[in-house]
Amino acid sequence: MVKPSVIILSFFLFISLNCNNPTQPPVIQNVELKVNDATATEVFLEITTSNVNLPVSATLNKDGTLLQNITLVNANTTIVDKSLSPNKNYTYQVIININGKQVTSSSVPAQTMDTTSHNFTWQTFTFGGQAGSSTLYDVAIINENDIWAVGEIYMNDSTGQPDPNAYNAVHWDGSKWELKRIKTNACGGVVYPPIKAIFVFSSNDILFAHIDGSISYYNEIEFINDCSLITQLNGSANKIWGMSRNDFYVVSSNGFIAHYINGYWQKLISGTNLNVNDIWGDFNQATGKYEILAVASNLFSSLDRTILSIDPATRIVTHLSSQPIQYTLKGIWFYSNKQYFVSGDGIFQKHILSDNSWANNPLEITSYFINKIRGNDINDVVAVGAFGEVLHYNGVNWKSYRNTTKINDGAYYSVETGNNLVVAVGQDNPAAVLIIGKR
């Protein structure tokens, strides 16, 4: 008979031996491939490795054939496959080679975007010019039967004499244009001051920025005027962008950026004395907050430029790289984390802001100065500028319509898009000019 003490000693010896020699789970080396994004001609791929000693050799296959050999030096690597065909399906797979052993990712499908049609027909309208040089500065589309354009329009009265009260807006109701006088509280000394910028949230939720610095709000019943920004603003507002009537931004000369939030104005420190010419924002899915960017330059007086980023949470403004752009910037539009466009002495593009540099050369797309750029999507973008230049980007190439839209003495200063509709405004001296493009 075995004594109890011997059984107990054997039990603890068994436990001790097993604790000193634990069974280690096998290390699983893995590689994953996913499609981050696609344009009409590019696919953006992300390769992720785990439990892999780097650097390591890898091959990237497309549709079952070798696309390229690569060396992975980081656990996360982005690869861009360029020069693809629009609206086409592709399949990608990555294989890493570890001491003669192959570790393979799953095959992942990708589809490039289709192009949009360049087939626009254009119609031109002119306003004023009889009693003074007239201009439309900005435009907003609510729908094809509800369009606003703003500026300064000088007309003769019924007797043929110059009307002392200029018009400062025109409205399209689907069949005709109606001249409008939007009245302020004369806080800048003028009852009907020219309007420099407009931003629309809906048909009954519209902001107008007058050249005297006052802001008018339209609720489809009445215009409500706010004079409180005049004391801060040195001149006219250049552009407005916002998320709601109670949360929007105004930009102006000398680096001025103001944020309106729930009834209060806050001036932001921009870190520049350059004129802030345009502002745009879009919701960034990766960060879960809005991305807000602006461009600043003193046109015709220097070649200085900067691209500004506004943090909507902290209101801190930082400066982003504009390399290798060497000339002034007037417009900006983007679809967050998909495509960024800036314009002025050229049109320049980036896929994401962390890309090393802006693509395109100053005269690669057009030889005319581009004042404004807006889009429906990254494959449906319109840019307008000097001497009637109008351009459309369909995801692959740019098409100019200047043979139809040209201006002899002036420019288009602003443009808005809406599905298959484009409206651009400006001046063909001495009249204000507006064109509608329908696709």
pLDDT over 90 at 41, yes or no: yes
User: What pLDDT shows up at residue 22?
Assistant: 57
Distances (CA, A) of 157 to 91, 131, 153, 163, 164: 67, 9, 12, 5, 9
pLDDT by residue (tens digit) across 243-274? Answer: 999 999 999 999 999 999 999 999 999 999 99
Q: pLDDT-based confidence at 7, cuts 50/70/90?
A: very low
Mean pLDDT of 6-35: 62
**Sorting pLDDT into bands at 50, 70 and 90, what band is 46?**
very high
Please give the domain boundaries of the chain with CATH numbers for all domains. Answer: 30-111 (2.60.40.10), 121-438 (2.130.10.10)
The string of pLDDT tens digits covering residues 137-186 is 999 999 999 999 999 999 988 777 788 888 999 999 999 999 999 988 77
Of the listed ranges 9-13, 57-61, 261-265, the one predicted with least confidence: 9-13
CB-CB contact of 249 with 237 (8 Å): no
Interval 320-333: pLDDT, tens: 999 999 999 999 99
Query: What's the confidence (pLDDT) of residue 14?
Result: 44
Q: What is the pLDDT of residue 398?
A: 97
Sequence-ordered strand ranges (E) for 87-181: 89-98, 101-104, 108-111, 121-127, 135-143, 146-153, 167-172, 177-180
Q: What is the pLDDT of residues 288-326, one digit of tens each?
A: 999 999 999 999 899 999 999 999 999 999 999 999 999
Q: How does DSSP assign 376-420, residue by residue?
A: EETTEEEEEEBTT-EEEE-SS-EEE-HHHH--SSEEEEEEEEETT
Q: Given the structure tokens 């599905």, which residue do they identify?
A: 419
State the pLDDT at residue 23.
62
Q: How far apart are the first and last CA of the chain?
A: 100
At 20, the pLDDT band (50, 70, 90 cuts) reads low
Residue 142, C-beta contacts closer than 8 angstroms, at least 6 positions apart:
148, 200, 202, 203
pLDDT score of 110: 97
SS3 at position 424: strand
Q: What is the structure's pLDDT at 431?
A: 96
Q: Which of 37-46, 190-199, 343-352 has the lowest mean pLDDT?
A: 190-199
Identify the band that residue 15 occupies on the pLDDT scale cut at 50, 70 and 90: very low
Q: What is the pLDDT of residues 382-412, one digit of tens each?
A: 999 999 999 999 999 999 999 999 999 999 9
pLDDT of residue 16: 47
With a CB cutoff of 8 Å and minimum separation 6, the contacts of 81 are: 42, 43, 45, 62, 67, 90, 92
Residues 24, 343: Cα–Cα separation, whole Å: 59
**pLDDT averaged over every residue in the chain:** 91
Instruction: Give the percent of the chain with pLDDT over 90.
Output: 78
Higher-confidence residue: 213 or 167?
A: 167
1 pLDDT above the threshold of 70: no
Q: What's the rounded mean pLDDT across residues 59-68?
A: 96
- Which of the four pLDDT bands, split at 50, 70 and 90, describes residue 438? very high
Can you give the pLDDT at residue 9?
Answer: 41
Lowest mean pLDDT among 16-30, 88-102, 127-141: 16-30
Using DSSP, state whether 117 is helix, strand or coil.
coil
For residue 35 the two structure tokens come to 């499609």
352: how many CB neighbours lie within 10 A of its CB?
16
Strands (E), 28-129: 30-38, 43-50, 56-62, 65-72, 76-81, 89-98, 101-104, 108-111, 121-127
Q: Find residue 61's DSSP bridge partners.
A: 66, 93
